Amino acid sequence: MSTLGDDEVGLILDWVDDPYARKSLSLVCKQWLRVEGLTRLSIRVLDLDSFRGFIPRFPNLVTFECSRRITDDDLRFLAQTCPKIEALNLNLKPPRENSDEFDQPCDDVGDDGLCALAIGCRKLSKVLLRRRKNIGDVGVVSLINLASTLTNLDLGWCNLITDQALAAIGEASSITILNLERCSLITDGGLTSLATMALSRSLKKLVLAECDQITDNGVSLLQQMYCLEELNMAECGPKITDIGGVAIATIQTLKRLNFSWLINVSDPTLFALAENCQKLVAVDFTGCELITGAGIRAFSNHTCLETLVFPSCYNIGVHDLENVVLGCRSLRCVVLDKRLKTWLTPMMQEYISIFCSLYWR
CA pair distance 285, 263, nearest whole angstrom: 10
Residues of the chain with pLDDT > 70: what percent? 89
Q: Which pLDDT score is estimated for 21? A: 67
On the question of pLDDT at 140 being above 70, the answer is yes
For residue 199, what are the contacts with CB-CB under 8 A and spacing of at least 6? 169, 170, 171, 172, 173, 175, 178, 193
Structure letter (DSSP) for residue 94? P
User: Which residues contact residue 73 at a Cβ distance below 8 angstroms, ignoring those fewer than 6 apart?
Assistant: 113
Residues 6+ apart with CB under 8 A from 280: 254, 255, 256, 257, 273, 302, 304, 305
Which pLDDT score is estimated for 104? 44
Question: How is domain 255-360 classified at the CATH fold level?
Answer: 3.80.10
Residue 37 pLDDT exceeds 80: no
Burial class of residue 105 (count of CB atoms within 10 Å of its CB; 0-12, 13-18, 19+): exposed
**From the CB of residue 118, how many other CB atoms can be counted at a distance below 10 Å?**
22
Predicted TM-score (pTM) of this structure: 0.91
Higher pLDDT, 350 or 233: 233
Please tell me the predicted confidence (pLDDT) of residue 272.
Answer: 98
User: Taking the domains of the chain in order of start, what are their residue ranges?
Assistant: 1-39, 255-360
Residue 178 has pLDDT above 90, yes or no: yes
Write the CA distances from 360 to 59, 156, 337, 341, integer angstroms. Answer: 50, 28, 6, 8
pLDDT tens string 106-125: 789 999 999 999 999 999 99
- For position 32, what pLDDT does the model report? 60
Tens digit of each residue's pLDDT (9 = 90 or more) over 149-160? 999 999 999 999
| pLDDT above 60: residue 100 | no
186-232 pLDDT, tens digit per residue, is 999 999 999 999 999 999 999 999 999 999 999 999 999 989 999 99
Question: What kind of fold does domain 1-39 have according to CATH?
Answer: Monooxygenase (1.20.1280)
Q: What is the pLDDT of residue 105?
A: 44
What is residue 9's predicted lDDT score, i.e. its pLDDT?
64
Are the CB atoms for 120 and 146 separated by under 8 Å?
A: no
What's the pLDDT score for residue 27? 62
